[in-house]
């Protein structure tokens, strides 16, 4: 493993251990002190810091320095990088001059680069290879380039330390069974041939930038799809294509939120919503979705969280991670809240064509012709084309109230010039004609049968219960906290990974408040799911935290 050394030759882990020794604090004391201050710091994190596997991000580093009463620069960089080094009492600081330094933004220290197969899944925001910096001038330490403090409260733990640990294990030659990523292609869900052929035919015509909103043909097909979903007051100028829904979530939040503006977001959520609202300066206020009521939003809780700073409500329907699909009556109640409090509605409907059991998907925007609504969808899930990167957002309803907001969206859309043009070129093909996904979601289809299997099998494990998902390809089971004595679900995920080489995502990664849930992606074939269930079941027969 490459270890990053400070000027005095110590590693971060060594300095941390020195400081802990000097202050008499053990790992558990740090975890308790963090909990008392409301800082999110699990046992697994601390042990990874102490063993040198991971280096904390800025906010956690500040907490550690404060708790251990040492200078934060000393803790992060060692004595040479700190002009006013304050090592733990009784310790002497090392040499002043530095010949090497390293980027000290949040990062893990990988043993080597992640394998190519992992790179194809999603970016690894926490993993960078340590770099050695040279002094700009002889004797002057190279300045440090830190990540922006705007990222301090931004979390995207779907790819957090547990996934990093799984990658490390794979690099060391261990096979890990991964049930953590909603990426259809690696599980044999291939892009329809017609779509691939149409893209290759049009590739030569896609060399230039397109209109910043997107190709006319793509937006026309999106508009027709929105018309079929009864979205009111549509026009081609307020349909935007993006490099996946992900880009548009960010753009839509950036255009709307002033610092301190509040936005209602579900708990559990797809955490990109909370992350983008936060990055835009907003305050994500979470309303609870009720497991006892098929994971529908708790309407009373939602309304009780509206304040005079609230600007909008976000719904994710069908939902990731719960697989819930909201019925018309629930949507009407949400619209009523938005109407009463003059709020915008953002509806993420990327799984709308993956509903099972004959459940009808209703677009909330179709129920709110008088309100400003933004509806998101794309081809990543329903057409199994996650890698080509194409999504869209459609504005509908009260455009007058959104006049200025639309100007902001246009500015941001123009600034990124356009979305990926080859991917736009296949929207018309994908949205028209035979929908191959329909075969997956009916009896005998893979998604349907795998859903039935995983739901039944999970409920047969003592101490586990799960609501049957109605759409998408995720299930969000509950663990009996008392039975397993679980206080930290990330630790649970890490222990499961170490013992059984099985990777799941813990519930708090979806902004769920209690450490008692986890998410399984049931895209793998049933034989693989059976193997996973056998491992999980055995693990839970002895596991107590």
Cβ nearer to ligand PLP, comparing 320 with 424:
320
DSSP string covering 244-272, please? HHHHHHHHHHHHHPPTT-EEEEEES--TH
CB of 228 to ligand PLP, least distance (A): 20
Q: Work out which of 320, 363, 488, 505 binds ligand PLP, going by CB under 6 A.
A: 320
| Close Cβ partners of 10 (under 8 Å, ≥ 6 residues apart) | 18, 78, 94
Site map 400..439 versus ligand PLP, x via CB under 6 A: ----------------------------------------
Cβ nearer to ligand PLP, comparing 76 with 383:
383
Site map 131..170 versus ligand PLP, x via CB under 6 A: ----------------------------------------
From the list 101-109, 242-250, 396-404, 487-495, the region that binds ligand PLP by CB under 6 A is 242-250
Cβ nearer to ligand PLP, comparing 120 with 541:
120
Q: Are 254 and 412 in contact (CB under 8 A)?
A: yes
Cβ nearer to ligand PLP, comparing 42 with 391:
391
Residues 265-284 that bind ligand PLP (CB under 6 A): 270
From the list 46-54, 206-214, 239-247, 327-335, the region that binds ligand PLP by CB under 6 A is 239-247
Give me the torsion for CA of 241, 247, 253, 254, rounded to 10°: -100
Q: Work out which of 386, 457, 520, 533 binds ligand PLP, going by CB under 6 A.
A: 386
CB of 472 to ligand PLP, least distance (A): 8
Cβ nearer to ligand PLP, comparing 44 with 210:
210
CB of 24 to ligand PLP, least distance (A): 45
- Residue 231 three-state SS: coil
Q: What residue spans of 51-184 are helical by DSSP H?
A: 58-68, 72-77, 116-119, 161-171
Closest CA to 9 of 139, 64, 18: 18
Cβ nearer to ligand PLP, comparing 296 with 543:
296
Q: Work out which of 316, 402, 454, 506 binds ligand PLP, going by CB under 6 A.
A: 316
Q: Does 94 bind ligand PLP (CB under 6 A)?
A: no
Sort strands 518-521 and 505-506 into parallel, antiparallel or unpaired: antiparallel
**From CA 63, how far away is CA 42, in angstroms rounded?**
13
Cβ nearer to ligand PLP, comparing 380 with 396:
380
Q: Does 350 bind ligand PLP (CB under 6 A)?
A: yes
Residues 168-187 that bind ligand PLP (CB under 6 A): 182
Q: Are 41 and 31 in contact (CB under 8 A)?
A: yes
Cβ nearer to ligand PLP, comparing 98 with 254:
254
Angle, helices 43-50/489-500, rounded to nearest 10 degrees? 60
Q: Are 393 and 248 in contact (CB under 8 A)?
A: yes
Site map 363..382 versus ligand PLP, x via CB under 6 A: ---------------x-x--
- Residue 120 three-state SS: coil
- Residue 376 three-state SS: strand
From the list 41-49, 91-99, 238-246, 507-515, the region that binds ligand PLP by CB under 6 A is 238-246
Q: Does 287 bind ligand PLP (CB under 6 A)?
A: no
Closest CA to 461 of 479, 482, 485: 479
Cβ nearer to ligand PLP, comparing 13 with 256:
256
Cβ nearer to ligand PLP, comparing 176 with 265:
265
CB of 426 to ligand PLP, least distance (A): 14
Q: Work out which of 192, 214, 391, 507 binds ligand PLP, going by CB under 6 A.
A: 391
From the list 146-154, 169-177, 241-249, 507-515, the region that binds ligand PLP by CB under 6 A is 241-249
Burial annotation 492-503 (CB, 10 A radius, 16+ → b, else e) = bbbbbbeebbbb
DSSP string covering 71-90, please? -HHHHHH-GGG-TT--PPTT
Cβ nearer to ligand PLP, comparing 250 with 491:
250
Size of site (CB under 6 A) for ligand PLP: 13
What does the longest C-alpha to C-alpha distance in the chain come to? 75
Compute φ and ψ for 344, nearest 5 degrees: -80, 155
- Residue 371 three-state SS: coil
Q: What residue spans of 239-343 are helical by DSSP H?
A: 244-256, 272-279, 299-304, 328-341
Q: Work out which of 244, 266, 372, 397 binds ligand PLP, going by CB under 6 A.
A: 244
Q: Work out which of 8, 103, 121, 348 binds ligand PLP, going by CB under 6 A.
A: 348
Cβ nearer to ligand PLP, comparing 246 with 252:
246
Q: Are 379 and 385 in contact (CB under 8 A)?
A: yes
What sign for the dihedral angle of Cα 116, 122, 126, 128?
positive
Cβ nearer to ligand PLP, comparing 41 with 249:
249
Cβ nearer to ligand PLP, comparing 48 with 183:
183
Q: Work out which of 223, 245, 315, 520 binds ligand PLP, going by CB under 6 A.
A: 245
| Close Cβ partners of 83 (under 8 Å, ≥ 6 residues apart) | 73
CB of 68 to ligand PLP, least distance (A): 38
Q: Are 462 and 471 in contact (CB under 8 A)?
A: no
Closest CA to 458 of 469, 442, 445: 469
CB of 386 to ligand PLP, least distance (A): 5
Question: Residue 374 pairs with which residues in a beta bridge?
Answer: 346, 395
Q: Which residues bind ligand PLP (CB under 6 A)?
A: 182, 244-246, 270, 316, 320, 348, 350, 378, 380, 386, 391
């Amino acid at each position: 493993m490459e270890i990053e050394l400070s000027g005095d030759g110590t590693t971060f882990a060594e300095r941390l251990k020195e400081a802990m020794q000097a202050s008499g604090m053990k790992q558990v004391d740090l975890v308790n002190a963090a909990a008392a201050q409301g800082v999110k710091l699990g046992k697994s994190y601390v042990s990874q810091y102490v063993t040198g596997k991971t280096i904390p991000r800025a906010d956690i580093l500040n907490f550690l320095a404060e708790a251990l009463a040492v200078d934060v620069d000393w803790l992060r960089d060692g004595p040479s990088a700190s002009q006013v080094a304050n090592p733990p009492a009784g310790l002497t600081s090392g040499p002043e001059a530095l010949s090497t330094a390293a980027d000290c933004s949040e990062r893990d220290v990988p043993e080597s680069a992640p394998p190519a197969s992992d790179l194809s899944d999603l970016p690894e925001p926490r993993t960078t290879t340590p770099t050695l910096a040279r002094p700009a001038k002889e004797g002057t330490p190279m300045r440090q380039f830190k990540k922006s403090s705007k990222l301090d409260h931004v979390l995207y733990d779907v790819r957090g330390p547990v996934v990093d640990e799984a990658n490390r294990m794979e690099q060391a030659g261990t096979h890990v069974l991964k049930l953590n990523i909603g990426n259809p292609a690696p599980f044999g869900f291939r892009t329809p041939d017609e779509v691939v052929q149409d893209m290759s035919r049009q590739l030569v015509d896609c060399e230039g930038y397109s209109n910043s909103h997107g190709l006319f043909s793509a937006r026309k097909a999106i508009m027709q799809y929105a018309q079929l979903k009864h979205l009111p007051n549509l026009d081609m100028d307020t349909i935007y294509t993006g490099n996946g829904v992900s880009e548009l979530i960010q753009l839509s939040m950036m255009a709307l939120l002033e610092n301190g503006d509040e936005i209602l977001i579900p708990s559990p959520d797809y955490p990109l919503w909370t992350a983008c609202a936060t990055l835009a300066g907003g305050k994500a206020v979470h309303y609870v979705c009720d497991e006892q009521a098929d994971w529908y939003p708790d309407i009373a809780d939602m309304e009780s969280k509206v304040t005079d700073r609230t600007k909008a409500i976000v719904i994710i329907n069908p939902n990731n991670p719960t697989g819930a699909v909201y019925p018309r009556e629930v949507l009407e109640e949400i619209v009523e809240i938005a109407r009463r409090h003059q709020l915008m509605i953002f509806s993420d409907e990327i799984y709308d064509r993956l509903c099972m059991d004959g459940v009808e998907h209703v677009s909330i925007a179709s129920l709110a012709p008088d309100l400003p609504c933004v509806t998101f969808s794309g081809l990543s899930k329903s057409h199994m084309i996650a890698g080509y990167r194409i999504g869209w957002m459609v504005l509908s309803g009260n455009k007058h109230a959104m006049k200025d907001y639309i100007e902001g969206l246009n500015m941001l859309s123009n600034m990124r010039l356009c979305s990926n043009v080859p991917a736009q070129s296949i929207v018309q093909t994908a949205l028209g004609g035979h929908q191959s996904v329909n075969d997956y979601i009916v009896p005998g289809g893979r998604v349907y049968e795998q859903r039935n299997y995983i739901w039944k099998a999970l409920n047969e494990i003592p101490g586990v219960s799960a609501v049957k998902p109605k759409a998408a390809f995720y299930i969000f089971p509950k663990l009996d906290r008392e039975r397993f004595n679980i206080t930290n679900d990330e630790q649970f995920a890490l222990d499961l990974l170490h013992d059984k080489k099985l990777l799941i995502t813990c519930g708090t990664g979806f902004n769920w408040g209690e450490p008692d849930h986890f998410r399984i992606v049931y895209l793998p074939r049933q034989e693989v799911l059976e193997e996973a269930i056998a491992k999980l079941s055995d693990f839970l027969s002895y596991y107590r935290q």
